[in-house]
Amino acid sequence: MPEPTIQRTLREKIREAERVTRELREHLELNFSPKSHELKKMCRSPDNRPDAEHFADVTIRSQCSQVIQSDRFTAGLDDQAEDLYAAIVVEVEEIASGKAPAVETQ
């Protein structure tokens, strides 16, 4: 179970934010975008392309389901990143205002 954000050091928060951001970017590039583009291609009207493939409703529903699952995963990563970014901002503001020690002990 991950350590709560509030109990992490600033360095740990920054490292975790970087990791989550990288995971989110990779997920969007390698998973979400390709699935979304494939669904868009499936749903295009074949009227303007006589050689277009016709997809069964179950195929489109399956692709929609995959896009929805991918979107949920994306939202979870985004929430994690936002929490970390907010915690970093708070801690940096505390350090800048002199309310917290500027040096961490590890």
For residue range 49-93, what is the model confidence (pLDDT) as tens digits? 555 667 788 888 999 999 999 999 999 999 999 999 999 999 999
Q: Is residue 106 part of a domain?
A: no
Spatial separation of the C-alpha atoms in residues 49 and 53, rounded to whole Å: 9
Higher per-residue confidence, 44 vs 52: 44
Residues across the chain: 106
Percentages (nearest 5) of helix, strand, coil residues in the chain: 75, 0, 25
Output the six-digit token pair for 105: 């002990």
Q: Is residue 104 part of a domain?
A: no
User: Are 9 and 88 in contact, with CB atoms under 8 Å apart?
Assistant: no
The whole domain housing 43 covers: 5-97
Q: Is residue 102 part of a domain?
A: no
Q: Is residue 32 part of a domain?
A: yes
Q: Is residue 31 part of a domain?
A: yes
User: pTM of the entire structure?
Assistant: 0.76
Q: Is residue 57 part of a domain?
A: yes
Domain count across the chain: 1
Q: Is residue 82 part of a domain?
A: yes
Q: Is residue 40 part of a domain?
A: yes
Q: What is the pLDDT of residues 85-106, one digit of tens each?
A: 999 999 999 999 988 555 555 5
